[in-house]
Amino acid sequence: MGISKLKRYANRPMIDFLIMVLALTAATLLSMLFRATGFSENNIVVIYILSVLMVARYTKGYICGITASVIGMFCFNFFFTEPYHTFNVNNKSYIATFAVMLIASILTSTLTSKILHSSKEAKLHEKQSNMLYQITSSLAKASSVSDVATVSVQSLSNLLDCDVCCLTANSDGQFLKEYSIKQGERSVHVCSLTNGEEKSIIQNNNILPIADQSHQYGLICLPKSCISEEDKQEKLLSSISTQIFVAMERERLSDEKEMAKDEAEREKFKSDLLRSISHDLRTPLAGISGAAEMLLYSLKEEENRNLAQGIYNDSNWLTQMVENILSLTKIQEGKLLVKKRPEVVEEIVGEAVGRASKYADEHTIEVEIPDKVLFVPMDGKLIEQVLINLIDNAVKHTPSDGHIKVMVKPEAEKVWFYVTDDGTGMNPDDLPKIFNLFYKADGLQSDSNRGIGLGLAICKAIVNAHGGKIYANNNKGGGAEIHFYLPLEGGTHFGQ
């Protein structure tokens, strides 16, 4: 504890009393000397006023100065007015002298105390401003939450001349580390906190929270003897804790920004890689598919035709997967552009079923659409991809002789599309998750069973981009059904 803190705990009233007694005693002795040498009473009055001024200067508050003014007046009456050594006066004009002396002494004492108080306040404000400036300057140089904690305890220890520690917390509010420094030392000690250690630290110290309503970064712990209401340090320390919080918040936001930047770069790299690979695969896959289809019509031996059929089916599956990957990259980059225009539903459904049938030879695909020509505002290519993915999904979960049905049902302001099957159906626990990326309803790994878990997620993104919704459920008679709707503008549109 420093000298200033020792003074804080000294018996101040006794010291002030002694100063007052010594000042008045000295004034009385000096006045006696002046009278012996022939000085007038006016000089003696000035000496007593000077003593009152000295008392006001070196004591605390107004009481000692006013008391000294009253006692000085009585001393002047007792020692220097006739009859001497009594409190009586022969000359009534002295009463006016006493009154003037008392008023002058009180005014002098009061003004001196006010000036001293104002001077002390100004020095305190200057000291507080310097403290805040030094800590703010130091915190501005910190580059992490750990640096902020280290700089904080160092600065506070130097400025307050006491031991300081800082407890830092994680995002869950759990205290993990303690940064502490002893009075007079330069190095900061860092240690991990185990369960319960922070409780004893908090109980034995004054606590300054480094927090707001939404985040708590830690606590500043100061000895209870370090904070004095007399010096009005509470507001200062509150301001300092706010500065520390702002610095830690800045570092947290900077870290989050850096993490977001790294994540964005990784996503961009992944999307660029997927797009590049997909584009490079498109051409050879188209060639393989075309060659396999030609072989199917030219080969006569059943074994060779089966081989060609396998190549053809796999190349078509790979082509569809490439299309899904390209769509995924556009969705993740926010580049999925929906160009709506009135499309004939029969043509879109027919094209989708025709393409999906190429790799579903053993399945029966039935189509049910309105008799009249139905126009729906949509991006035909994207909705065709949705239907192909839904039919492909039904094929994967339906036996080779299974039955798949595609239906279109118009309503007043929307058109519903249904894809149903008589396969194994879906686990009820999987229904809320099947539209998530890389999730497979059959519970297998996302890279097995001829699928990577993209199809349904892409379907959802495309339908949502059209302003519609997509749903999945199990049929009562067995199998699954996935259906979605597209909104109409101005009601259902039928052709002539």
Using alpha carbons, select from 181, 174, 217, 224 the residue that is nearest to residue 199.
Answer: 174
Q: Two tokens at 460?
A: 């959802």
Q: Evaluate whether 383 touches 462 at the Cβ level (below 8 Å).
A: yes
Using alpha carbons, select from 231, 113, 228, 222 the residue that is nearest to residue 166.
Answer: 222
Using alpha carbons, select from 220, 198, 193, 197 the residue that is nearest to residue 208.
Answer: 220
> What contacts 24+ positions apart, CB below 8 Å, involve 258-263?
none
What is the per-residue pLDDT for 6? 41
Q: Two tokens at 450?
A: 């001829």
Class of domain 261-327: mainly alpha
Q: Two tokens at 48?
A: 């007593």
Amino acid letter for position 249: E
Using alpha carbons, select from 143, 207, 151, 138 the residue that is nearest to residue 175.
Answer: 207
Helices 93-140 and 233-298: crossing angle in degrees, nearest 10, is 20
CA dist 188 to 20, 83, 150, 191, 226, Å?
47, 73, 7, 10, 19
Residues of the chain with pLDDT under 50: 1-9, 443-449, 496
C-alpha 433/C-alpha 419 separation (Å) is 18
What fold characterizes domain 337-494? Heat Shock Protein 90 (3.30.565)
What is the per-residue pLDDT for 440? 62
Kind of pairing between the strands at 364-368 and 403-410: parallel
pTM of model > 0.85: no
What is the per-residue pLDDT for 445? 37
* 46-89 per-position pLDDT tens digit: 888 888 888 877 887 778 778 888 888 888 888 888 788 888 87
Q: Two tokens at 261?
A: 């930047």
* Spans of all domains in the chain: 3-127, 141-227, 261-327, 337-494
What is the per-residue pLDDT for 13? 79
C-alpha 220/C-alpha 185 separation (Å) is 18
C-alpha 422/C-alpha 51 separation (Å) is 111
Q: Give the torsion through C-alpha atoms of 263, 268, 274, 275, to 10 deg.
A: 160
Question: Token match 């640096």: residue?
Answer: 147
Region at 425 (left for phi over 0; alpha for psi -120 to 50; beta for the rest): left
Q: How far is CA 422 from the centre of its chain?
A: 50
Q: Report CA torsion sign: 430, 435, 438, 442.
A: positive
Using alpha carbons, select from 210, 175, 217 the residue that is nearest to residue 193.
Answer: 175
Q: Evaluate whether 218 touches 193 at the Cβ level (below 8 Å).
A: no
- b/e sequence 208-219, b meaning 16+ C-beta within 10 Å: bebbeeeebbbb
Please provide residue 339's backbone torsions phi and psi, each rounded to the nearest 5 degrees.
-105, 95
What is the per-residue pLDDT for 368? 92
Question: Token match 């705990």: residue?
Answer: 9
Helices 233-298 and 145-160: crossing angle in degrees, nearest 10, is 170
C-alpha 21/C-alpha 167 separation (Å) is 51
C-alpha 6/C-alpha 134 separation (Å) is 26
E-only strand ranges, 163-222: 164-169, 175-181, 189-192, 206-211, 216-222
Q: How crowded is residue 176: how many other Cβ atoms within 10 Å of its Cβ?
A: 13
* 3-state class (DSSP) for residue 167: strand
